[in-house]
Amino acid sequence: MKMAIFLALVHHPVLDRSGRVVTTALTNVDVHDLARSGRTFGVSRSYVVTPVALQQRLVHEMVGHWQQGAGSAHLRRAEAMQRVSAMPSLDAVRTDITQRTGRAPVIAVTAARWQPEGMKPSMQQPESFALWRQRIATAGDDAQPLLLVFGTGWGLAPEVLLQADVRLPPVRRDPHLLDAEAGDGPYNHLSVRAAAAIILDRLLGDRDAP
Amino acid sequence: MKMAIFLALVHHPVLDRSGRVVTTALTNVDVHDLARSGRTFGVSRSYVVTPVALQQRLVHEMVGHWQQGAGSAHLRRAEAMQRVSAMPSLDAVRTDITQRTGRAPVIAVTAARWQPEGMKPSMQQPESFALWRQRIATAGDDAQPLLLVFGTGWGLAPEVLLQADVRLPPVRRDPHLLDAEAGDGPYNHLSVRAAAAIILDRLLGDRDAP
């Protein structure tokens, strides 16, 4: 191993359609997909971030269902779910990772439409997936862990971007492979489930295997 | 354009956990994710395959909701959903694609655990994503369309594999990037939503963009 990879799915602070900072509700299928994709690609732990105590408890109950409850006969889902935790904030996630690994994580977000003033200089330009794949491949045992942060709703609020260290490029199709059809503009409206899966594959997948 | 790409999400015939051929129920979030991922990567049309008339009507209603109903103010979702159709069978999908494009599609499935006797010789070995990416990039105007078929439940039934022309490799993590943790075997239990998104990205994504 070398670099440990973590995921966080943030329900607050995120934006709604009109750009206001809100708290979104937990979506069961997001938690399952995060667990399954994380487990497939070797992610150390996935965090569901919500300040709402009732929703944190819901995550605990979902995880418990697969560990001890009716779902525990389903070993693969249980295996995936045991690496999921609820956390009240991104700060709490950072603290947990620091305690687990001994180092504070590098916080990476995917390119946002919002670029608030005061972001770290390292956030001005996206860093390519190829660069990070290389960093993961060559990381030593003392490598800083990498925390990939995804936002629900209409994306992460500016205050999360101010905490982030690295911006990854947006996921798009290759414009050279298929021509755009008449009237089509660029379109990227992937679900957070799909975007997270693709980003894990871009960083960690065996995409060039025969 | 050159090669037209189509998706099919099959609810029958698929396998259940014990290997029996069953019909699975429609999952709303699958339809939305298929529409959104398909639209993001330039897929011409996505088909929801189910022989159950009531479930076909449910798909029509979902599409209608985003076209004329309460959802129509949400332009991007409407744009994605207008490229979704329900079909009773994979044969009907094949006929529809042939009528739309003038050519029968190449039918591609992802590597299955099941390899029934009587599969086409081209199905014996998986063909790499790199090969298909290259084929898409160099396709002429008369290229055969490509139909990517995904199964719900525990995967496509043997009779679908017998109709298929091409097998794509399973999506896995690169074993050289992160060491497996003690006790871990290979694990791939992606949701069909995540698997479809990753496969579209492997074939059509701008993964090496700066």
What confidence score (pLDDT) does residue B112 get? 62
Instruction: Let me know: does A40 contact B188? Beta carbons within 8 Å.
Output: yes
Tell me the pLDDT tens digit for each residue of B33-54: 999 999 999 999 999 999 999 9
**CB distance B42–A173 less than 8 Å?**
yes
What confidence score (pLDDT) does residue A183 get? 38
Helices marked H in chain B: 28-40, 53-67, 75-81, 90-101, 129-138, 158-163, 192-204
A135: three-class secondary structure by DSSP: helix
DSSP state of B43: -
Paired tokens of B9: 């999400």
Backbone angles phi, psi at B51, to 5 degrees: -80, -5
DSSP state of B156: B
- The angle subtended at Cα A7 by Cα B186 and Cα A121, nearest 5°, is 130
Pick from A150, A168, A164: nearest CA to A30: A150
What gap in Å lies between CA A71 and CA B148, rounded to an integer? 31
Cβ contacts (< 8 Å) between B32 and chain A: which residues? 191
Mutation target to probe the A interface, by most A beta carbons within 10 A, among B17, B141, B178 is B178
Pick from B4, B54, B73, B8: nearest CA to B34: B8
**CB distance B198–A193 less than 8 Å?**
no
Q: Where are the domains of chain A?
A: 5-204
Cβ contacts (< 8 Å) between B9 and chain A: which residues? none
Considering only the beta carbons, identify the residue of A130, A187, A205 that sits closest to B174.
Answer: A205
ipTM of this predicted structure = 0.92
| Other residues' Cβ atoms within 10 Å of the Cβ of residue A19 | 13
Considering only the beta carbons, identify the residue of A36, A80, A173 that sits closest to B204.
Answer: A173
Q: How far is B154 from chain A (nearest CA, A)?
A: 13
Mutation target to probe the B interface, by most B beta carbons within 10 A, among A44, A124, A203, A206 is A206
Based on the number of CB atoms within 10 Å of its own CB, is A154 exposed (0-12), middle (13-18) or buried (19 or more)?
middle
Which strand (E) or helix (H) includes residue A167? strand A166-168
Average pLDDT over residues B191-206: 95
Q: Which amino acid would we find at residue B6?
A: F
Paired tokens of B15: 């396998």
Tell me which CATH homologous superfamily contains domain A5-204: SPOUT methyltransferase, trefoil knot domain (3.40.1280.10)
What gap in Å lies between CA A17 and CA A184, rounded to an integer? 22
Tell me the pLDDT tens digit for each residue of A27-47: 999 999 999 999 999 999 999
pTM of the complete model beyond 0.90: yes
**CB distance B33–A191 less than 8 Å?**
yes
